Structures are given as C-alpha cells and as structure tokens.
Structure 1
C-alpha cells in the first residue's frame, strides 16, 4: 500500500463482504484474453477455484479459448459466476458451476466427483480461491479469523488436490495461486501472507512428490491485481491508489495473470515443476 503521495489510479470504492463481487467494481477488471487461441488445452478438463471473478474468471475464459472444458468453483457470488459461465460458453466450451466452500473437505470431494461425472476426466487443477482480512496488530487476529483464512487459502488446496489425485494421469498439471506477499511479507496481512508462503512450500513439496507420476505442480505469485478482493479488503482511499507504487505504477489486470496459469497448465511448460511465476508489475522478489 502507498502513502499520501501515491497516485490515485482507481475511483475510491469498497465492499463490505468477502471475497467481493466483480459486478460492483468500477472500472470492471479486464478478464478477456488478448489473443486468439491455439488449442493449448484442446480436449482437457480443468477445475478452477475462485472461478467466478478476478484471476479465476480470466483463467476460465482463457482456458476455454484454448480448448478446455471448465468447472467453476465459487463461494456465493452467483451473479458473477453466471457471467463467467456465459463467457466460457461463448468460447464454445462447457462451464460447470459448483457453489460451496473449498474449506469443506466434503464439498471438495463433491467438486471432483461432479466434474468427473459431467466431463469424464480431469487434467488441470487450478487452486486459486482465497480470502484476506487486514489487521494492524497480530493480537487483533482472532482465532476464528486465523482458522478461516487457513481453511480457505491452504486447507482447500490440500482437500481439492487429495480429491483430484485418483483422477490425474501422467501429463496432468496443478497450478496454485500464491502471492507476492509470500516473498516480501505484508504487515497488515499476517495470516494471509503466511498461507501464501505455505502455498509456495506446498507447491515445491508436491512437485517433488508427483514428478515420477508425470504430474507437474507449479504456482503463480501475483502482485497487486485489480480483482474484487481489493475493494472487499481495503478502505476506499487505499483502493484508489492500489498498485501505484509498483515499478509499472499501476495494478495488473486479471488477464495479465491468467496467461501465467495457462503456460504452467499446458505442455509449453513441460520441463517446469516446482516453480513460481511472478506477474507483479516489475517488483523483484527473491526465491
């Protein structure tokens, strides 16, 4: 977040619910793919969590343009999810809408079961759903907040991956969404940053575990991206300057991140596993 000298690049706005609704944002995030498809995911089936909006929506539409059928997992933002499903169908592909909480293991088992039932197989899993709740001091983080943040951001990744494993064959891909905060931290997002650091370790460990099975596991660590999570997290004045302190002096758009997920999901990255891509507007981070 920037100080008082930061440039205002978005209209001030905020939302009072997590993880936020894209229908209430202005301007709307740019999620449509920039280029024609080339069949990179032709014949594939993908599950995308947090698929209703933001990075998840951009991934869903891009994957569909590249030939994949898509199962869209979302918490409660039905209007956003329907818009995403319509965009997927406009690309000529199936969109399966699955509403529920990824922090619930039974729901995650059902997500995979319904995807197999409707689509017949599973080739790509994109673990992307997340929530964040800023607090000024670690003592302000309640046990309930800590549990919920880890339940959504980390446990959900484990649950869905566990459910998917019996169906993933050699050549399958798992792509996890972590964050720049895993590398540089975030003083007001202690629990969120901790989950994102854990996702990096999860990605690297799982990649080693699954290498001999021919299943690749990688991650994407976005910087400040214009998604519903931003007005649902920060006060209006902070939203107005969101992204302005990056080297590129702006927030990124979801369609500038989804291309990273696509690359890691498809065979163009066939010699990459356990790696993290960093679409963050030019910020240099270690690791």
Structure 2
C-alpha cells in the first residue's frame, strides 16, 4: 500500500469506534483497518467475541484492534478507555459514535422521561462527550467526528419512539458541533441509514418484519449492507471529503424515495408478483 497511489491510505491514523465489535460499527472498523488504520473498538455487556473479531481483522490484513469494554454513558469507563488508548497511541484521529440504545416503546404507556434521557445518554450525547474527553486527554480533537443515525426522525418505525428522538438530537448536535469546532479544523458529519439487517435491527423490529416485506413482493432487496455504510464513513474521514461538514447524509441506494405504496406496487408488478396495470393518462 502506497500513500501516493492510494488516496484513502489510513496508515498511522487511530480510529475509535464505539459499539465497534458487531454490525455497522464493526464494518466501519474493518473498512479503516483494511486501509492500515489502528482501530479501537468498544463494547459492553459481554457482547463481543474478541477472538472472532480479531480473526476478522487478521483475515482482512488489518492491524489487530484494541478492544475495550466501556459503557459510553459512564465517565469512569470513558476515563479507563482513554488511558488504554494512551498506552498505545498519542491520540485519536477519527471518532465514530455508533452506539444506540433505547427502550422498545410498544405504546404510549411505555413512555417515560427517564427512558428518554437514557436513550439520549447512549445514542446522542457521546458524540459530544467523547469528542471533548479526547481533547482533554490528548490536547487535540479528532480531525473527523462521525455519528451513525437513521431516518427515524422523519418517518414511523415500529417500537422506535425514543430511538428516533435521540437520533434527532444526534443530528442537531452534528450541525452545531461542526460549527463550534470549525476553527479547530474538525469536520463533523452524520451518516443515516434506512433498513440494515443487523442483530440490533432484528431485536427492535422482530423476525416477523422480514416476512412481511417478503409478502409485499417489492422489497426483498431493500436492505443496505453494513459494508456499504462503512465505505461512506471511510470516505468522509479520508480527507477527500473535507469540504463536507455538518451534514446528515442518507445511505440507502435511493430506497427512501420509493418507499411508499406506489413504489411497493410498481416493484411487485415489475417482478411479476402483482397483476396491476397503471391507468392511462387522461
């Protein structure tokens, strides 16, 4: 790999990915690792099979990651994490805030102020708190700060009330944080995704949702992959996209545009799964 021929060479850079041992977070870490970056992955609640994660990095020819158990909502865990990073690296160049956690809200009776605050603590506030903590510990901000969001704030998703609210906060933080840190040369952006089948997606919406999509006949291939999202994150932090700041970027293959009844019907018809002919224009 040569920096002169590879415009996204990440050798020498340190990338911190919260919730980086599975799903989209792991895909992001691997995308940077393949380009030579040193990665730091956090997890909590015993969710990481560390041997399996390291095996994936080895198979990708990536440097072995530093894996640290750390709860993003706990200051003591954040302090321990930064000390672990400091033992190996002089700072962090890229922060990817990926952790999202919220109570499943099956009805209005499940709403509570405590649950809302908890959701924001996990899904939105770390974009700010980790950025600030990294500056305090290493004397510099990450050059690139990225958050992972969804289009939950703009449309209905089952059981998603508090996740959507916290993602709206995250996206607002993105814009203001980019302004606040602009003169420090920091670029802050958020990458939105729509339907990405991960373990957390299944836990939120359930297996039945996939059967429902198949029954519709038009959305079997609507899922964006974690790897596709990771590639966009990599490009935003590569240095090639530094003219982009404070933006919320949708990555969904254009699915959002035709995710409606007409789009469902037309795709099903085109695939021979629905006998339907559009009316002639008047």
State which of 232, 252, 265 in structure 2 corresponds to 1:280: 252
Task: For CA contacts below 8 A with separation 6 or more, give which structure has more relative contact order.
Answer: 1
Distance change (3 Å), C-alpha of 1:239 and 1:150: farther
**TM-score normalized with structure 1 length:** 0.78
Partner residue of 2:127 out of 144, 150, 157: 157
Local SS of the residue matching 1:135: coil
Q: Secondary structure at the match of 1:114?
A: helix
Q: Flag structure 1 segments of 5+ consecutive residues without an equivalent.
A: 1-36
Alpha-carbon RMSD: 2.6
Alignment of 1:164-183 (within 5 A): 164-166=134-136, 167=138, 169=140, 172-183=143-154
CA–CA distance in structure 2, aligned partners of residues 247 and 54 of structure 1? 21
Indicate how the Cα distance of structure 1 residues 161 and 171 shifts in structure 2: closer, same or farther if over 3 A, else same.
closer
Counterpart pick for 2:85 among 90, 112, 115: 115
Of 233-242 and 123-132, more deviation after overlay is shown by 233-242
Q: Who is 1:76 aligned against?
A: 45
* 1:253 counterpart = 2:225: yes
Instruction: Give the 3 Å change call, closer, same or farther, for CA 199–248 of structure 1 in structure 2.
Output: farther
Q: Distance in 2 between matches of 1:284 and 1:237?
A: 24
Q: Report whether the alignment pairs 1:60 with 2:29.
A: yes
**2:70 corresponds to which residue?**
100
User: Which has more helix, going by share of residues?
Assistant: 2
Residue of structure 2 equivalent to 1:140: 110
Counterparts of 2:51 and 2:25, CA distance in 1 = 13
Does the Cα contact within 8 Å between 2:25 and 2:98 map onto a contact in 1? yes
Aligned counterpart in structure 1 of residue 100 of structure 2, from 123, 127, 130? 130
Local SS of the residue matching 1:257? helix
SS at match of 1:220: strand
What is the aligned partner in structure 2 of residue 225 from structure 1? 196
**2:94 touches 2:142 (CA, 8 Å); kept in 1?**
no
Deviations 1:87-114 (A, max 9, x none): 2244231310111211112212322232
Match of residue 170 from structure 2: 199
Separation (CA, whole Å) in 1 of partners of 2:47 and 2:76: 20
Distance change >3 Å, CA 181–CA 121, structure 1 → 2: same
Matched residues in 2 for 1:89 and 1:249: separation? 30
TM, length-normalised to structure 2: 0.79
1:187 and 1:236 mapped to 2: Cα distance? 13
C-alpha distance in 1 between matches for 2:46 and 2:217:
30
Q: Which moved more, 1:87-96 or 1:226-235?
A: 87-96
